[in-house]
């Protein structure tokens, strides 16, 4: 029941962070549905008492229609078994040597970890976040491996590298709605078993499947807490694949597991994966934040420069004009003079790549009506159909919200459906702010669409 002292409905709604979050996540939910994500995490994640939380997040992704491949490591579990036998893993140049004893421990540990993950994904208790969920999990001999062999005189024995990933079988598993679970193991045509790094398996799977994203959940170094935000502390939020070799050469402080993820990520990018994410596992919800918010929470490696979405400056006017002119000539947008653009430049936001403005949009607030006009939405013709329009729209809506704008409108002649598919609804001219109605061009006969934020 409403309380007479409650603020009016519009105000309550505008400030509800939950509702705002869901709305803001909506474009990402749509964009991710049906896509393939490969998510890799270490055995540390499985050993952590909070592992069920991560599994719940993974179950949520599955529920949202994302095709999931999980790749797990098992290092702590292997080390525990080795120390039980009075042995330990040996590393040379950051690569582990897997002798007979170690291989026996690797097999045992991989089996135990697999069962634990399967058990958690099978949980369906009514009072848990997994209520009513049953997620089929399929594990198997998806990876053909080869031995690393002898490098610089060191025999790495049963340590191997990915030779091939069985794309067809993995696809069939995902097509059936199951989660594919991949251990850090591979098999050779000679019947041998090889100990692989989870990073290598994840890279191989992502490349074989042409995955939309490859995500590495990173660990905090010993003694550091999540608050120290280690991954971000060392790494920039955005990295280019081609920068990684130089970064690793110049930053000996980067821990070996992160270095492995970086190398595997760069390699994946070189093989066509567009987005590789390093997300700090111990930060609660970091995976969801990375996937469903514009800024994410970790480090993004991409083959191409990540485009900054930023407010426009006066020296962008020429570039914006170049983007808008052909659309104005074609009658898609209303003509704006250079002078007008210069005066109104602070209304504009844009993305830029190597000096080329790839997309722009402007927001004209009508504060007394708690409305704003979204105008000049344009994506460079060579960059259309890659989600830039969506990203810009999400950003402009976020800006509007910070201005306490409750509704955004567009006047469009040829792009109505693009806006309708993004939550805009047809409206009459009377619904516009009075000030805007007075400027309405009846000859142009634009349609009005309004979205409630």
Ligand X SMILES: CC(C)(COP(=O)(O)OP(=O)(O)OC[C@H]1O[C@@H](n2cnc3c(N)ncnc32)[C@H](O)[C@@H]1OP(=O)(O)O)[C@@H](O)C(=O)NCCC(=O)NCCS
Distance between CA atoms of residues 287 and 279, nearest Å: 7
Distance between CA atoms of residues 107 and 78, nearest Å: 9
Does the protein bind ligand X through residue 387 (CB under 6 A)?
yes
Q: Is 130 exposed, middle or buried (0-12, 13-18, 19+ CB in 10 A)?
A: buried
List the interface residues with ligand X, window 417-436 (CB under 6 A). 417-418
Does the protein bind ligand X through residue 384 (CB under 6 A)?
yes
Strand (E) positions, 354-431? 356-366, 371-379, 407-412, 425-427
Distance between CA atoms of residues 299 and 277, nearest Å: 6
* Nearest distance in Å: CB 382, ligand X: 10
Task: Give whichever of 178 and 377 is closer to ligand X, judged by the CB atom.
Answer: 377
Q: What angle do CA 198, 204, 205 make, to 5 degrees?
A: 90
Distance between CA atoms of residues 174 and 165, nearest Å: 14
Does the protein bind ligand X through residue 35 (CB under 6 A)?
no
Does the protein bind ligand X through residue 377 (CB under 6 A)?
yes
Distance between CA atoms of residues 423 and 3, nearest Å: 30
- The residue at minimum Cβ distance from ligand X is 389
Among 158, 388, 436, 451, indicate the residue that binds ligand X (CB under 6 A): 388
Distance between CA atoms of residues 451 and 407, nearest Å: 6
Using the contact rule CB under 6 A, the part of the chain among 58-66, 179-187, 273-281, 374-382 near ligand X is 374-382
Distance between CA atoms of residues 298 and 217, nearest Å: 9
Does the protein bind ligand X through residue 298 (CB under 6 A)?
no
Among 379, 405, 448, 450, indicate the residue that binds ligand X (CB under 6 A): 379
* Nearest distance in Å: CB 383, ligand X: 7
Does the protein bind ligand X through residue 327 (CB under 6 A)?
yes
Question: For tokens 């607030």, what's the residue?
Answer: 365
Does the protein bind ligand X through residue 390 (CB under 6 A)?
yes
Does the protein bind ligand X through residue 385 (CB under 6 A)?
yes
Using the contact rule CB under 6 A, the part of the chain among 9-17, 84-92, 348-356, 415-423 near ligand X is 415-423
What residues contact 361, with CB distance under 8 A and at least 6 apart?
348, 349, 350, 374, 375, 376, 377, 378, 392, 393, 396
Q: What is the DSSP string of 180-228?
A: EEE-SEEE-TTS-EEE--HHHHHHHHHHHHT-SEEEEEEPPPTT--GGG
Using the contact rule CB under 6 A, the part of the chain among 265-273, 335-343, 363-371, 414-422 near ligand X is 414-422
Task: Give whichever of 134 and 417 is closer to ligand X, judged by the CB atom.
Answer: 417
Does the protein bind ligand X through residue 321 (CB under 6 A)?
no
Assigned token pair, 286: 């970091």
Residues in a beta bridge with 90: 97
H helices of 255-329, in order, are 256-270, 286-292, 317-329
Assigned token pair, 122: 């099978």
* Nearest distance in Å: CB 269, ligand X: 21
Does the protein bind ligand X through residue 386 (CB under 6 A)?
yes
* Nearest distance in Å: CB 99, ligand X: 52
Using the contact rule CB under 6 A, the part of the chain among 96-104, 221-229, 304-312, 380-388 near ligand X is 380-388
* Nearest distance in Å: CB 386, ligand X: 5
Task: Give whichever of 26 and 188 is closer to ligand X, judged by the CB atom.
Answer: 26
Task: Give whichever of 332 and 345 is closer to ligand X, judged by the CB atom.
Answer: 332
The residue ranges that bind ligand X (CB under 6 A) are 327, 332-333, 377-379, 384-390, 410, 412, 414-415, 417-418
């Amino acid at each position: 029941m409403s309380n007479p002292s409650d603020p009016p409905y519009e105000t309550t709604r505008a400030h509800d962070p939950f509702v705002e979050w869901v709305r803001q996540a909506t474009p990402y939910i749509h964009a991710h549905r049906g896509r393939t994500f490969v998510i890799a995490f270490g055995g540390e994640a499985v050993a952590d008492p909070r592992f069920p939380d991560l599994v719940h997040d993974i179950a949520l992704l599955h529920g949202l229609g994302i095709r999931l491949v999980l790749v797990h490591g098992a290092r702590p579990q292997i080390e525990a078994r080795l120390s039980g036998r009075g042995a330990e893993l040996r590393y040379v140049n950051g690569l582990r040597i897997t002798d007979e004893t170690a291989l026996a421990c690797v097999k045992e540990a991989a089996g135990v970890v697999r069962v634990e993950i399967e058990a958690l994904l099978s949980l369906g208790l009514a009072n848990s976040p997994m209520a009513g969920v049953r997620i089929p999990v399929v594990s198997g001999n998806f990876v053909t491996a080869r031995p690393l062999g002898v490098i610089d005189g060191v025999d790495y024995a049963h340590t191997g590298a990915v030779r091939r990933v069985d794309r067809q079988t993995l696809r069939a598993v995902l097509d059936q709605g199951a989660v594919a679970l991949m251990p850090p193991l591979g098999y050779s045509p000679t019947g041998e078993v090889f100990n692989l790094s989870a990073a290598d398996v994840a890279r191989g799977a992502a490349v074989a499947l042409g995955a939309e994203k490859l995500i590495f959940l990173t660990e905090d170094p010993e003694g550091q807490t999540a608050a120290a935000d280690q991954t971000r502390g060392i790494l920039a939020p955005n990295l280019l694949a081609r920068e990684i070799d130089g970064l690793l050469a110049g930053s000996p402080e980067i821990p070996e597991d992160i270095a492995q993820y970086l190398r595997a990520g760069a390699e994946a990018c070189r093989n066509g994966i567009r987005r590789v994410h390093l997300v700090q596992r111990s930060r609660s919800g970091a995976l969801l934040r990375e996937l469903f918010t514009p800024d994410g929470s970790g480090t993004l490696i991409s083959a191409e420069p990540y485009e900054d979405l930023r407010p426009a400056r006066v020296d962008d006017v020429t570039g914006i004009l170049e983007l808008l002119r052909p659309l104005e000539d074609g009658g898609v947008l209303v003509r704006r003079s250079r002078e007008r653009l210069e005066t109104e430049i602070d209304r504009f936001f844009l993305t830029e790549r190597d000096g080329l403005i790839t997309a722009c949009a402007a927001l004209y607030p009508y504060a007394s009506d708690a409305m704003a006009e979204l105008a000049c939405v344009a994506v460079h013709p060579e960059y259309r159909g890659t989600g830039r329009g969506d990203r810009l729209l999400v950003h402009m809506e976020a800006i509007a919200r910070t201005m306490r704008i409750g509704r955004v409108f567009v006047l469009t002649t040829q792009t109505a459906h693009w806006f309708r598919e993004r939550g805009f609804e047809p409206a009459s001219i009377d619904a516009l702010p009075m000030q805007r109605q007075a400027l309405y061009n009846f000859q142009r006969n634009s349609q009005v669409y309004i979205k409630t934020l």
